Amino acid sequence: MSEAPNLIRRFHAGEANAFAELVSTHQDDLYTLCLRAVGMDKAEALAETVLLAAHQALHRLDPDTHLYNWLMQLAVEHIEASGPNKGDPSGGLDEQSTTIQTLLDALETPFRVAVIMRDIIRLSEIQIAEILQLPLGTVRSRIHRARLNMARSIAPIMDNV
């Protein structure tokens, strides 16, 4: 994910459009992470909460911070605080998307977040390790275990999807 040039500095300088640009640049990844981590019912509210928290904290953020990683880190903190998804996994999604959501909901939050970042948002393992502030080996292990659990859950219904 490429960084918008000097977005933090522009925000510090009081440029009115800087935060709106941040939102439009990162909203899809942020919304995807929230949607897949907490479900359709809470996704939009959670993504908005993360952005509000980011807006409150951005004025004291070091301008050299990797903005995307910082934002995703903030999102993960909110996801962990929001608890598991207990809503209807189908909630307006198509059949395959609902299947993915059902498989993800069965995972514990740390494994779910890791596999969403790797296989849905398509971040590298190194970047995920930076965001989650974990050793690379731990991230690889979480991704593998999540994939294996999902694969074993999908096997009985694989003919139908």
- Minimum Å gap between C-beta 61 and another protein is 8
> Quick one: which segment of 69-77, 81-89, 112-120, 127-135 binds another protein (CB under 8 A)?
112-120
Nearest alpha-carbon partner for 134 in 145, 126, 144: 126
CA 35 to chain centroid:
8
Q: Please identify which residue in 3, 6, 9, 44 interacts with another protein, judged by CB under 8 A.
A: 44
Q: Does 86 bind another protein (CB under 8 A)?
A: no
For residue 21, give both structure tokens: 């640009």
C-beta of 2 vs 96, nearer to another protein: 96
Q: Could you say which residues in the range 120-139 bind another protein, by CB under 8 A?
A: 120-122
Length of the chain: 161
Q: Can you say whether residue 123 is alpha, beta or left, with left for phi > 0 and alpha for psi between -120 and 50 degrees? A: beta
Least separation in angstroms between residue 6's CB and another protein is: 15
Q: Helix, strand, coil shares of the chain as percentages rounded to 5? A: 75, 0, 25
CA–CA distance, 54 with 57 (Å, rounded to integer): 5
Binding residues for another protein, per CB under 8 A? 12, 19-20, 23-24, 27-28, 30-32, 35-36, 44, 47-48, 51-52, 55-62, 94, 96-97, 99-100, 103, 115-116, 119-122, 140, 143-144, 147-148, 150-152, 154-155, 158, 161
